[in-house]
Structure 1
Amino acid sequence: MDLVKFQNLLDNASFGILFVTMLIYWAGAAFPELPYLSTLGTTGMAIANLTMAALLGSRWLEAGYFPLSNLYESLFFLAWGVTAIHLIAENMSKSRLVGVATSPVAMGITAFAALSLPPEMQASAPLVPALKSNWLMMHVSVMMLSYATLMVGAVIAIAFLIVTRGQNVELKGSSVGTGSYRDRIKQLSLAKAQSSDDSSSVAANHGNVAVLNLPKTTTQPPLSPERLNLADTLDNISYRIIGLGFPLLTIGIIAGAVWANEAWGSYWSWDPKETWAFITWLVFAAYLHARITRGWQGKKPAMLAATGFVVVWICYLGVNLLGKGLHSYGWFF
């Protein structure tokens, strides 16, 4: 069997394994009384990860350079990164819902690469002159790994929003901010509540008029303790995974700037890819700033992370679909 047929076998196998794994995770979420499904899901993600690693290694041997020169290779590297970070997140959280959220992302990426791209875009080709640099492995691999990590953290944040039905919930995990700002807000909230109780008491007795302080009605039922515990876990894991992806993104951008100066004579040229990488950095910097220094937790940072998920995809794929730039070679244009 030649390498091309072997690679086609591996990419289709990766898609098939991830598709079955996704169904296993979903079945496990629907039938939590079947604990072995969680183990099967983890095993499926690990096998898919190894299958994609074998595919990328085969491409490396065939072409003689690190396999990140075209869209097909970068998509499989991204999917490999998603499955690798998934295994880390699942081990940290001990929750099968992580796989419910991440397996469709990995499966969709492999489906696009293996089933949608034409054969000429899947084939290995000689590197264009701009890519013949030792910075190829350093910059592109770190950027792709940062995308994978941020995607996993963001999609877990989206799972948090689904579990909590978009409600504001009080969390107690280690990801909850405990800085002076958050403590001051709690003190102000307690003082306001005390003041409101005192005012209500005075109003109720003034003029012998009885006033009933009825609780505010909500359109959604309160969350069960199980959902609250799960939400706390997802919030914590999302925060930690994004905290891992952000330094990778920072290092990747810095390495890209150094490479750009060597290749084009300028550290920064506001190329569309560079611009959206900077926007991605700003979104997740705002997320971490809000959590660490402002004490945000729960719904608001999860919505910011969900926005970051969209921004990452625009930076990675949308720029190449919608416009030309210095980073468009070998992909769509």
Structure 2
Amino acid sequence: MFSDQLFNYTTLAYFVAMVLFIAYIATKNHTVGLVGTLIAWLGWVLNTAAIGVRWNESAQMGMGHAPMTNLYESFVFFAWSILIVYLLMDLKYKARAVGAFVLPVAVFFMAWGQMMPDHSKAIQPLVPALQSNWLTYHVITCFIGYAGFAVAFGASVMYLIKVGREEKSGGGNTPAGGLLAMFPSTKVLDDINYKAIMIGWPMLTLGIVTGAAWANYAWGTYWSWDPKETWSLIIWFIYAAFLHARFTRGWVGRKAAWLSIIGFGATIFCYLGVNLVLSGLHSYGAG
């Protein structure tokens, strides 16, 4: 299918952008960083086009559902979501080095998707429980939420690396040199962590709400303590605790970075561990 070719080109573009962001840190060449950003935008445009083409291919096959119903489609949409959140952050902060820590997540999922067998990537008719617009709303909001957490994770890893080096080199008062010289300041990294979570947490909240509405439509109950529902609630509380601690106790810096990393670990388990390991109403996502 043509959409598969576009997804392959998307994967290549994201990989090249990732390499260029790493090279930007290594060479300290701002032109390299700019080219990396432009290729990341190109990859996102290709990703968007591929999703649209796959949706049209589904319609031509007599199904017409949004391409967000199996593991493969979730991978490519997750990558799309990560890139748009990252690129919007880049427009504000011009912190291109962050791409070296965020793009690998998108590349990982795109590459995994492209290596899946053809039968796992095939467009399939929806089971009755999935034949609802609530599914589309639920998936979009959840994955944009996950994407916000992915960007926060990348910024948090950078923060811990940079603050650790600065503390070793001069008690926290001396800017880190070498490769870390291209990292944004710890203040900017902490702010990106916070702002990305401020995107992710409300979107996850909407995802849980739309998921409850969808569950009531499909199964006649808003909440059934399915493993995915339970883990989504755990993630919600982790990031709610992050925001509460920041607003009321002034949690910034190292504590905030570690909580963000823990939250993203829980997010990945909710996304993959629950779908692939645990059984429940969301187990179809592994198909």
Same topology, TM > 0.5: yes
Residue 19 of structure 1 corresponds to which residue in structure 2? 15
In the alignment, is residue 44 of structure 1 matched against residue 39 of structure 2? yes
Partner secondary structure for residue 68 of structure 1 = coil
1:248-287 → structure 2 map (5 Å cutoff): 248-287=203-242
Residue 161 of structure 1 corresponds to which residue in structure 2? 160
Residue 77 of structure 2 corresponds to which residue in structure 1? 77
Residue 134 of structure 2 corresponds to which residue in structure 1? 135
Distance 1:323-1:229 versus aligned 2 partners, 3 A rule: closer
Deviation at residue 70 of structure 1 after TM alignment: 0.6
Residue 294 of structure 1 corresponds to which residue in structure 2? 249
Larger Rg: 1
1:178-193 → structure 2 map (5 Å cutoff): none
Residue 106 of structure 1 corresponds to which residue in structure 2? 106
Deviation at residue 100 of structure 1 after TM alignment: 1.2
Partner secondary structure for residue 284 of structure 2 = coil
CA distance in 2, matches of 1:10, 1:300: 41
- Bigger helix share: 2
CA distance in 2, matches of 1:88, 1:68: 23
CA contact (8 A) 1:157 1:235 kept: yes
Which residue, out of 49, 55, 58, partners 2:53? Answer: 58
User: What is the identity, as a one-letter code, of the residue corresponding to 1:134?
Assistant: N
CA distance in 1, matches of 2:171, 2:25: 21
Which residue, out of 246, 249, 261, partners 1:306? Answer: 261
Residue 225 of structure 1 corresponds to which residue in structure 2? 175
CA contact (8 A) 1:92 1:237 kept: no
CA distance in 1, matches of 2:142, 2:95: 27
Shifted more, 70-79 versus 148-157: the winner is 148-157
Q: Deviations 1:8-29 (Å, cap 9, x if unpaired)?
A: 2112111111111111000100
Residue 61 of structure 2 corresponds to which residue in structure 1? none
Deviation at residue 237 of structure 1 after TM alignment: 1.2
Unaligned runs of 5+ in 2: 59-63
CA distance in 1, matches of 2:240, 2:119: 38
CA distance in 2, matches of 1:260, 1:153: 29
Residue 205 of structure 1 corresponds to which residue in structure 2? none
Q: Aligned residues, how many?
A: 276
Deviation at residue 136 of structure 1 after TM alignment: 1.4
CA distance in 2, matches of 1:42, 1:317: 29
Distance 1:260-1:229 versus aligned 2 partners, 3 A rule: closer
Q: Percent of aligned pairs with the same residue?
A: 41
1:181-220 → structure 2 map (5 Å cutoff): none
Partner secondary structure for residue 224 of structure 2 = coil
Partner secondary structure for residue 283 of structure 2 = coil
TM-score (norm 1): 0.79
TM-score (norm 2): 0.92
CA distance in 1, matches of 2:274, 2:255: 27
Shifted more, 293-302 versus 227-236: the winner is 227-236
User: What is the identity, as a one-letter code, of the residue corresponding to 1:225?
Assistant: P
User: What is the identity, as a one-letter code, of the residue corresponding to 1:35?
Assistant: H
Residue 117 of structure 2 corresponds to which residue in structure 1? 118
Deviation at residue 236 of structure 1 after TM alignment: 0.7
CA distance in 2, matches of 1:96, 1:7: 29
Q: Displaced runs of 4+ in structure 1, greater than 2 A? A: 219-229
Q: Deviations 1:197-235 (Å, cap 9, x if unpaired)?
A: xxxxxxxxxxxxxxxxxxxxxx66434336696111111
CA distance in 2, matches of 1:222, 1:124: 56
Q: Deviations 1:23-45 (Å, cap 9, x if unpaired)?
A: 1000100111x110111111111
Unaligned runs of 5+ in 1: 170-218
Q: Deviations 1:76-105 (Å, cap 9, x if unpaired)?
A: 010001111110111122112211111111
